[in-house]
């Protein structure tokens, strides 16, 4: 092969490494629906951002949002390229905002694999051991768009337990994040709350709680498909391929393995839009008048 040809190929390889591809954004913006406190989100995400930057060859920035809706709107409007959702908030973004997004990866947890569970919890020793014990107590959901922190337990209340929360509990609030519910219950400021089992693992790994043994689990949902990462469908096809490959390979790096384990995860697994069809049915059910708070 001639030297000139080798030089051209080398320059093309450098161009790819630097992310200089047609249609690629100069900066990739990713977001996550609020799971933990926003105070140190950027620091906690830094290893993942650096990994993606190395794989894609372009800067990667974390978009910080105060609630689920902000993430949905930002991605629907193109301010965010890639976002992490719960199954229901992913479905909701497509249904209500017509967001041009598609799931490409999902969480695979150390505890339960590519599924997780919604929990209703109370502090162990509080005297609240069943949902009947919780009658007349204060109750906290996470966010109206949260899968495990609102929609799945709300569907259970409506379709199975026949409970209207604002009639059954003394006061119903939204804590904003899973972390706020978990720590509120652990500290006794929230008598009863809805969250997810992966959130318990995250709080334990951060040293905020000892573990699930601090809580009474009043109810546990059926398995929920792992929470999805979704990219905008109008991103260039090659960028979408590179993104999925990067996500699926993150656990193979030492930093990635440590980062994932701190979140209670084994890896990211492949996902498709069809994985979340069940939540389209949940979303439809919660529109019934009898399924309102």
Q: For residue 209, what pLDDT is reported?
A: 97
Contacts of 10 (CB under 8 A, 6+ apart): none
Beta bridge partners of residue 118, listed in sequence order: 196
Q: For residue 186, what pLDDT is reported?
A: 98
In terms of domains, do 234 and 215 share one?
no
Q: Which of 205, 224, 243 is the last residue of a domain?
A: 224
Q: For residue 16, what pLDDT is reported?
A: 46
In terms of domains, do 89 and 212 share one?
no
Q: For residue 43, what pLDDT is reported?
A: 85
The domain containing residue 261 runs over which residues? Answer: 3-113+225-285
In terms of domains, do 27 and 103 share one?
yes
168-172 own/partner pairs: CB under 8 Å, 24+ apart: 168/135, 169/134, 169/135, 169/136, 169/137, 169/138, 169/139, 170/136, 170/137, 170/138, 170/139, 171/138, 171/139, 172/138, 172/139, 172/140, 172/141, 172/293
* E strand segments, 191-282: 192-196, 215-220, 224-225, 228-232, 265-270
Mean pLDDT by 10 residues, the chain (293 residues): 40 44 95 78 90 97 92 97 95 95 96 92 98 98 94 95 96 96 98 95 93 97 93 98 98 97 94 92 87 91
Q: For residue 20, what pLDDT is reported?
A: 61
Q: Which of 224, 251, 273 is the last residue of a domain?
A: 224
**Assigned domain for 290 exists:** no
In terms of domains, do 19 and 91 share one?
yes
DSSP tag of 112: T
**Assigned domain for 127 exists:** yes
Query: CB–CB of 132/262 below 8 Å?
Result: no
**Assigned domain for 293 exists:** no
In terms of domains, do 210 and 237 share one?
no
**Assigned domain for 212 exists:** yes
Q: How many CA atoms lie within 13 A of 188 on its CB side?
A: 4
In terms of domains, do 132 and 211 share one?
yes
In terms of domains, do 69 and 159 share one?
no
**Assigned domain for 292 exists:** no
Please report, for the domain that includes residue 218, its CATH number: 3.40.190.10
Q: How many domains does the chain have?
A: 2
């Amino acid at each position: 092969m001639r030297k000139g040809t080798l030089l051209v190929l080398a320059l093309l390889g450098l161009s790819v490494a630097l992310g200089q591809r047609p249609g690629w954004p100069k900066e990739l913006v990713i977001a996550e629906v609020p799971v933990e406190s926003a105070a140190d989100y950027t620091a906690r995400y830094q290893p993942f951002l650096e990994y993606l930057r190395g794989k894609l060859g372009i800067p990667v920035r974390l978009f910080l949002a105060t609630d689920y809706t902000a993430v949905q709107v930002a991605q629907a409007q193109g301010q965010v390229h890639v976002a992490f959702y719960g199954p229901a908030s992913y479905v909701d973004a497509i249904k209500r905002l017509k967001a041009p997004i598609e799931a490409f990866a999902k969480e695979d947890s150390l505890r339960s694999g590519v599924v997780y569970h919604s929990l209703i919890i109370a502090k162990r020793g509080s005297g609240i051991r069943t949902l009947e014990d919780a009658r007349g107590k204060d109750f906290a959901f996470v966010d109206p768009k949260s899968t495990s922190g609102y929609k799945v337990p709300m569907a259970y209340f409506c379709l199975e337990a026949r409970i209207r929360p604002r009639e059954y509990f003394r006061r119903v609030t939204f804590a904003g994040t899973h972390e706020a519910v978990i720590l509120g219950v652990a500290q006794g400021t929230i008598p009863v709350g809805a969250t997810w089992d992966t959130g318990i693992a995250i709080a334990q790994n951060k040293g905020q709680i000892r573990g699930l043994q601090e809580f009474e689990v009043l109810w546990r949902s059926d398995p929920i498909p792992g929470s999805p990462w979704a990219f905008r469908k109008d991103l260039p096809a090659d960028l979408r391929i590179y993104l999925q490959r990067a996500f699926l390979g993150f656990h193979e790096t030492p930093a990635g393995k440590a980062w994932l384990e701190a979140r209670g995860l084994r890896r990211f697994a492949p996902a498709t839009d069809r994985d979340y069809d069940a939540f389209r049915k949940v979303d439809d059910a919660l529109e019934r008048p009898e399924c309102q708070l």
